[in-house]
């Protein structure tokens, strides 16, 4: 189960492998933090499953989040569950949520070693029609104990220590990496436990699908336009278009089957739509650990330095060879 993996895997505690026994405190703290996230995801999964039955569907009154987007009831519930769970784990000094404009200081554990960034419920527009949604998270080590501030996350994504997502789909699936292999766990509803079903996820080196909101194509620049033309008209066999509109689900499919997922910048939204810190970085980290790649067309996503907690950034991710091909089209169009 995920619980036993978190508690016993030497990979969660890399130094253990060499020393053979007692966990260092920071490794124990990371385990407790990840347990808290797993519990929150189970809670959110229960809400998603009884959405229409328990009056959990629809908008949350007239409230909007920091991006000015209408909040759904489930957005607010998921944010509260993640925030309370992580705060009470007492392992974080600070939290960053898509749903909160400012960083959340964990006043009861200012000495927490970690900072957790998360999108508590991604793909909100899909909630009410029962299409897959998910939660995304990334974990950083705080720079200095007792001094949590936003500089702890204003750094390149490659400095994360763990990343994961939970997809509330036809099955509830948690995908997690702590810097080593990418593992997938499926929630067994009869046990109430995430069970290891995908011990070592590897993204195929190339794929036959592309995933992008093609309705925006009139705003695209030359690189994106030519790549999509290429996979539609110039491959031996055209690539299939698959787009759900929930990043977690689109990335999960791309991770398992290969191909690409893109949310490019365009003339209307030069930085695209997705948030760098708690959407692009964790997904790029997972994709790379699984042998795939993530780029913005000109540079590796994980090398980008975050300068604002809610900043957006263009992204292309998936099979290594396919992402390289996108980069080539961007270079040629520059
Ligand atoms: P959200 O965090 O408000 O749910 O928005 C992010 C979502 C992603 O899950 C998805 O990839 C994207 O928005 C879809 O956007 P669009 O509807 O423009 O294609
Ligand atoms: Mg989101």
Q: Quick check: CB of 29 below 6 Å from ligand 1? A: no
| 334 has a pLDDT exceeding 50 | yes
Give this complex's ipTM. Answer: 0.97
What mean pLDDT is predicted for residues 242-251?
98
Residue 245 Cα to ligand 1 midpoint, Å, equals 6
pLDDT of amino acid 15: 42
Size of the chain in residues: 334
Looking at the CA of 215, which ligand is closest? 1
CA of 247 to the centre of ligand 1 (A): 6
Ligand 2 center–CA 16 separation, angstroms: 35
Nearest atom (ligand 1) to Cα of 274: 6
DSSP one-letter string for 74-132? HHHHHHHHHHHHHHHHT-EEEEEETT-SSPEE-TT-TT-SEEEEEEEEE-GGGTTTT--
| Cα of 239 from ligand 2 centre, angstroms | 26
> Which residue has the CA at smallest separation from atom 16 of ligand 1?
245
CA 311 – CA 291 distance, rounded (Å): 26
Ligand 1 center–CA 246 separation, angstroms = 6
* Among 208, 206, 225, 203, residue whose Cα is nearest residue 216: 225
Among 125, 216, 250, the mutation site with the greatest number of ligand 1 atoms within 8 A of its Cβ is 125
Segment 286-292 shows an average pLDDT of 98
The rounded percent of the chain whose pLDDT value lies above 90 is 76
For ligand 1, what atom is nearest to the CA of residue 67?
3
Among the atoms of ligand 1, which is closest to the Cα of residue 246? 9
Q: What is the mean pLDDT of residues 1-24?
A: 63
Q: How far apart are CA 176 and CA 290, in angstroms?
A: 11
Find the helix or strand (DSSP H, E) in which 320 lies: helix 320-333
The average confidence (pLDDT) of the chain is 91
For residue 211, the tally of other CB atoms under 10 A from its CB is 26
Q: Is the CB of 124 under 6 A from ligand 1?
A: yes
Is any atom of ligand 1 closer than 6 Å to the C-beta of 246?
yes
pLDDT average, residue stretch 15-37: 73
Does the pLDDT at position 45 exceed 50? yes
Q: What is the pLDDT of residue 3?
A: 87
* Residue 10 pLDDT grade (very low, low, confident, very high; cuts 50, 70, 90): low
**What residue owns the CA closest to ligand 1's atom 4?**
123
User: Do 94 and 145 meet the contact criterion of CB atoms below 8 Å apart?
Assistant: no
User: Which residue pairs, CB below 8 angstroms and at least 24 apart, start in 179-186?
Assistant: 179/11, 179/14, 179/289, 180/11, 180/14, 180/289, 181/11, 181/289, 182/255, 182/286, 182/289, 182/290, 183/5, 185/1, 185/2, 185/5
Query: Does any ligand 1 atom lie closer than 6 A to the CB of residue 123?
Result: yes
Question: Which residue's CA is the nearest one to ligand 1's atom 6?
Answer: 123
Instruction: Tell me how far the alpha carbon of residue 248 lies from the centroid of ligand 2, in angstroms.
Output: 9
Output the CA 251–ligand 1 centroid distance in Å: 12
Ligand 2 centroid – CA 10 distance (Å): 32
Reported as a single tens digit per residue, the pLDDT across 135-191 is 999 999 998 777 778 999 999 999 999 999 999 999 999 999 998 999 999 999 999
Mean pLDDT over 7-18 rounds to 56
Reported confidence tier of residue 124, pLDDT bands at 50, 70, 90: confident
pLDDT band at 16 (very low <50, low <70, confident <90, very high): very low
Instruction: Judge whether residue 281 has pLDDT over 70.
Output: yes
Which comes out higher in pLDDT, residue 101 or 55? 101
Q: What does the pLDDT read at residue 167? A: 98
Predicted confidence at residue 55, as pLDDT, reads 73
Residue 13 has pLDDT above 50, yes or no: yes
**pLDDT for position 54:** 66
Calculate mean pLDDT across residues 193-209. 97
Judge if the beta carbon of residue 273 lies within 6 A of ligand 1.
yes
Ligand 1 neighbourhood includes 69 CB (under 6 angstroms): yes
């Amino acid at each position: 189960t995920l619980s036993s993996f978190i508690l016993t895997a030497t990979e969660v505690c890399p130094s253990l492998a060499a020393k053979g026994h007692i966990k260092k405190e920071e490794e124990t703290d990371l385990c407790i933090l990840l347990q808290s996230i797993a519990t929150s995801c189970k809670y959110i999964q229960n809400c998603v499953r009884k959405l229409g039955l328990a009056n959990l569907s629809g908008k949350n009154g007239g409230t909007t989040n920091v991006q000015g987007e209408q909040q759904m009831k489930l957005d607010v519930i998921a944010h509260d569950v993640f925030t309370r769970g992580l705060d009470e784990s007492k392992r974080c000094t600070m939290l960053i949520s898509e749903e909160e404009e400012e960083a959340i200081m964990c006043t009861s554990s200012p000495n927490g070693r970690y900072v957790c960034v998360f999108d508590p419920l991604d793909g909100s527009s899909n909630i009410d029609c029962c299409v897959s949604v998910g939660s995304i998270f990334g974990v950083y080590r705080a720079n200095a104990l007792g001094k949590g501030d936003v500089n702890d996350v204003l750094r390149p994504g490659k400095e994360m220590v763990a990343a994961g997502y939970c997809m509330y789909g036809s099955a509830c699936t948690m995908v997690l990496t702590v810097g080593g292999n990418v593992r997938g766990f499926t929630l067994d509803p009869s046990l109430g436990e995430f069970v290891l079903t995908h011990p070592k996820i590897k993204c195929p080196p190339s794929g036959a699908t592309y995933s992008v909101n093609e309705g925006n194509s009139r705003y695209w620049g030359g690189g994106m336009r030519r790549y999509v033309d290429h996979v539609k008209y110039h491959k031996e066999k055209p690539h299939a278009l698959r787009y759900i509109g929930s990043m977690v689900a689109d990335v999960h499919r791309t991770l398992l089957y290969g191909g690409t997922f893109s949310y490019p910048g365009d003339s209307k939204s030069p930085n695209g739509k997705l948030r760098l810190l708690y959407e692009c970085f964790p997904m790029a980290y997972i994709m790379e650990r699984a042998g795939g790649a993530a780029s913005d067309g000109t540079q590796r996503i994980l090398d980008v330095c975050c300068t604002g907690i809610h900043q957006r950034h263009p992204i292309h991710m998936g099979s290594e060879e396919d992402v390289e091909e996108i980069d080539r089209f961007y270079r040629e169009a520059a």
